[in-house]
Amino acid sequence: MVDKKMFGKKGLTKIQTIIIIIVVAIALIVGVVYYISLPASIPAAENEIRIGISLGLSGGYAGPSQRQLWGLLMAVEDINTAGGIYVKEYGKKLPIRLIYYDDRGDFATAIKLYERLITEDKVHVLLGPYGSGTTLSVSSVPEKHKVIMISQMAAADTIPAQGFKYVFTLLPVASQFGLTRLGFLNSLSPKPQTFALVTSNELYPLTVANSTKILLERSGYTLTYFDTYPKGTTDFSGILLNIKQTNPDFVYFVCYPTDAFIIMEQMKGLKITPKLLMFDDGPNDPKFISVFGKDAEGILTQMSWHPALPYPEVENFTKRFQERYNELPRHWSAFPYAAIEVIKYAIEKAGSLNTDKIRNALLELNGEMTLVGPVKFEDWINPMGVKLTQINTGASNLILQIQGGEMKILYPKDVANAEPIYPWPGWHE
Amino acid sequence: MLWAQLIIQGFLLGTLYTLMSLGLNAIYGVLKAVNWAHGAFIMLGAYTAYWLFEFFGLNPYISVILAALLLTLVGTFSYDVYVKPFIGRPNFGSIMLITTYGLALVLINTARYFWTDVLRGVRLGEAPISIGDISISKPYFYGGLFAIGIAAIFYIFIEHTRLGKAIRATSQDRIASMLMTIDTNRLSRLIYMLGAGLAGATGALITPIFAITPEAGMVLGLKAIMVVIIGGLGSYMGSLIGGLLLGFSEVFGAFFLGAGNQPLIYLLVFVIVLAVRPSGIMGEK
């Protein structure tokens, strides 16, 4: 029991109150002044470069997020074994410390974690999370705190369309995809004349489809049929019969893997054989070739990275990745790896860990070679007329074709490793 | 020619939807409750056919029988845990809706745990059947043929056997059937097993046509429920009409109005049917 008498029965006198208030006020003022002057007077000497990211290591994005982490870990390890990144203002190499958290694929958690990475962990540079949805949700956090974020796993135009100064996009965005579709068709002889375009009616496929449609029509290709279909469609005969009626040269589905598996079967059933047949996703799924066998031959698809790319680091990276993780690397690991390389280039160029200096250095990059090819961040107006800021115009989405049971790169020509099979030989009886 | 092609396509798709909903309808008839796990049963049937093809090279049309048998087993165990303890409760219909929804989640997530979200499918790669300008995909053709066959056998069973008569009697009046010494509890289990078996057979038939993932369990279940509601809960003829209506509206809707409007069209059909006949086309007033 506490004896109440210890504190006395009377209240404080007036003088005592004034003294206490004055003491507290002085302490407060001194404290605030000290706190404000502290970072300015004593610059923190850094002995490491902190790079932060939130990943969906558990939850719905666990698979790709795990692979994203693998790519990052390999890049950090490669740079640190070479001593780190040289920072001119300190006159020495500093190692990278990767700080990562698990957001369970939850947008709200990811936002909190990015706040934490900035305010508590005081990271120098941020990396974008997995997926367009998460990246879009968190992108305002680095912008608000003026910390650079390199987005490497988000292909939606909506992120660079925000015009943010501190967010850079390394992965080719959806509207850039149309460029290689056009370039590929232009490279063929005889040139195809007509095309049909069918797309899943979700944001990302619609962006790819619209950009392709606009670019092709502008270049004189005739659209014979265009349609969108909702998620969960299991019967495509209505669409396919329309395509059969209009008989286009190039049939292009901007679809998810499930859709491609269903459409292939139904297309064969209706005997539709265009000169070129392309599915955005599906044929790039490892199961596709084994399931469709000879019918898969000559089918076109896309990827933003492939282990057969002729860039200098690719072969070595692929070999080491396979030894370590027992599978072939995909863009999920390659782009995060390249993001760390990009940070290295920028810090070396800037000679500083100051955000604005790094930002300027990033904008000055001019085709520096990485695992994913040359990197150049620029503003670009997409075919729909939307201005995208600080996207990687050095990147291009690849067009691939299944040839002899393997994926071959057909376009862009400078990285191609096969000639196109054209026209498509059609269904195997 | 185009019209013939469209009609054939809609008809074949419709028969699959009919078969998809038949088991659901049978269970509703006797238990007067919707089995939410129906789609998950279809999904399991599809995986059964897939794995049998993958490991033993077994043709999915042979697996139809095995998938049906396996699912009757799954059905009887599920019945003990998710249905039987609640029979006779005043709000049995809503309880079963919830417990079987739980069962669907358990089955879908177990499937996801073991088989991941990777797409599966069997592709036989056979050339389509051609009659003049019309061409028919073989998996659709066989699917339709099997669906009609299974539905016919089921119809004969219900209409012309003693057990079928007992099922019909219980569907009409459970209490009266009990008084006539029909063991309605045994019958309930039997119908649940039968429904699950039909779902299993459907699953095997769709593996060569659709692509399967554990999630398909929900999507297909919803379609089956829609067919049953359009056709009339508990009416077998309703299943046939509802299934064909859904098949035709999907194919014709997508062809003439664009696939983007496909759900609009079949949901419109759904709303119109419910507005004109709230108990479904063949449902009792």
Q: What is the 3-state secondary structure (H, E, C) of chain A?
A: CCCHHHHCCCCCCHHHHHHHHHHHHHHHHHHHHHHHHHHHHCCCCCCCEEEEEEECCCCCCHHHHHHHHHHHHHHHHHHHHCCCEEEHHHCEEECEEEEEEECCCCHHHHHHHHHHHHHCCCCCEEECCCCHHHHHHHCHHHHHHCCEEEECCCCCCCCHHHCCCCEEECCCCHHHHHHHHHHHHHCCCCCCCEEEEEEECCHHHHHHHHHHHHHHHHCCCEEEEEEEECCCCCCCHHHHHHHHHHCCCEEEEECCHHHHHHHHHHHHHCCCCCCEEEECCCCCCHHHHHHHHHHHCCCEEEECCCCCCCCCCHHHHHHHHHHHHCCCCCHHHHHHHHHHHHHHHHHHHHCCCCHHHHHHHHHHCCCEEECCEEECEEEEECCCCCEEEEEECCCCCEEEEEECCEEEEEECHHHCCCCCCCCCCCCCC
**Interface with B, mutate which of A228, A237, A258 (most B CBs under 10 A):** A237
- List the domain range (segments joined by +) for residue B201: 7-118+134-276
Name the strands in the sheet holding A300-303, side by side, starting at the edge strand that comes first in the sequence.
Answer: A222-229, A194-200, A250-254, A276-279, A300-303, A398-403, A406-411
Query: B209–A238: do the CB atoms touch at under 8 Å?
Result: no
Query: B139–A258: do the CB atoms touch at under 8 Å?
Result: no
Give the C-alpha separation, A7 to B65, whole Å. 88
Residue A39 has pLDDT above 60, yes or no: no
Query: A228–B259: do the CB atoms touch at under 8 Å?
Result: yes
Cβ proximity of B201 and B67 under 8 Å:
yes
Average pLDDT for chain A:
91
Residue A35 has pLDDT above 80, yes or no: no
Of B2, B119, B252, the CB nearest to A285: B119
CATH of A49-172+310-396, picked from 3.40.50.970, 3.40.50.2300, 3.90.1640.10, 3.40.1130.10, is 3.40.50.2300
The SS3 call for residue B278 is coil
Do A176-303+399-415 and A49-172+310-396 fall under one CATH topology?
yes
C-alpha distance from B216 to closest chain A C-alpha (Å) = 9
Residue A5 has pLDDT above 70, yes or no: no
CATH of the domain at B268: 1.10.3470
Give the C-alpha separation, A252 to A274, whole Å. 10
Bridge-based pairing state of the strands B134-136 and B129-131: antiparallel
Give the C-alpha separation, B108 to A131, whole Å. 24
C-alpha distance from B71 to closest chain A C-alpha (Å) = 23
Domains of chain A: which residue ranges? 49-172+310-396, 176-303+399-415
**If you search the block for the tokens 């059905």, which residue do you land on?**
B75
Instruction: Report DSSP letters for B182-248, one per residue.
Output: --HHHHHHHHHHHHHHHHHHHHHHHTTTS-B-TTHHHHHHHHHHHHHHHH-TT-HHHHHHHHHHHHH
HSE-CB at B150 with a 13 A cutoff on CA atoms is 30
B125 in a domain, yes or no? Answer: no
Residues of chain B that touch chain A, judged by Cβ-Cβ distance less than 8 Å: 2, 5-6, 9, 13, 118-123, 125, 127-128, 130, 135-140, 208-211, 213, 219, 247, 250-256, 258-260, 262-263
Instruction: Give mean pLDDT, residues A11-39.
Output: 82
Residue A8 has pLDDT above 80, yes or no: no
Where residue A413 falls among pLDDT bands split at 50, 70, 90?
Answer: very high
B197 in a domain, yes or no? Answer: yes
Nearest chain B alpha carbon to A198: B259
Q: Which residues of A are less than 8 Å from B119 in CB distance?
A: 257-258, 261, 285, 287
Residue A369: how many CB atoms within 10 A of its CB? Answer: 15
B128 in a domain, yes or no? Answer: no
A426 in reach of chain B (CB within 8 A): no
Q: Does the global pTM surpass 0.95?
A: no
Give the C-alpha separation, B250 to B259, whole Å. 8
Q: What is the pLDDT of residues B136-162, one digit of tens each?
A: 999 999 999 999 999 999 999 999 999
Query: B211–A233: do the CB atoms touch at under 8 Å?
Result: no
The SS3 call for residue B261 is helix
**Interface with B, mutate which of A210, A226, A234 (most B CBs under 10 A):** A234
Query: B136–A262: do the CB atoms touch at under 8 Å?
Result: no
Query: B259–A230: do the CB atoms touch at under 8 Å?
Result: yes
Q: Identify the helix (H) or strand (E) that includes residue B131.
A: strand B129-131
Interface A-B: count of C-beta contacts within 8 A: 111
CATH number of A176-303+399-415: 3.40.50.2300
Where residue A38 falls among pLDDT bands split at 50, 70, 90?
Answer: low
B272 in a domain, yes or no? Answer: yes
C-alpha distance from A255 to closest chain B C-alpha (Å) = 13
Q: Which residues of B are less than 8 Å from A253 in CB distance?
A: none
Of B137, B256, B259, the CB nearest to A229: B259
Hey, which residues 337-376 in chain A have their CB within 8 Å of chain B? none
B127 in a domain, yes or no? Answer: no
Instruction: Give mean pLDDT, residues A403-413.
Output: 94
Nearest chain B alpha carbon to A225: B258
Residue A41 has pLDDT above 50, yes or no: no
A261 in reach of chain B (CB within 8 A): yes
Q: What is the pLDDT of residues A304-344, one digit of tens each?
A: 999 999 999 999 999 999 999 999 999 999 999 999 999 99
Where residue A42 falls among pLDDT bands split at 50, 70, 90?
Answer: very low
Where residue A10 falls among pLDDT bands split at 50, 70, 90?
Answer: low
Q: Give residue A378's region: left, alpha or beta (phi > 0; psi -120 to 50).
A: beta
The pLDDT value given to residue A6? 52
Q: Give residue A83's region: left, alpha or beta (phi > 0; psi -120 to 50).
A: left
In chain B, which stretches have pLDDT less than 70?
A: 285
B204 in a domain, yes or no? Answer: yes
Of B211, B247, B251, the CB nearest to A258: B211
Q: Total structural domains in chain B?
A: 1
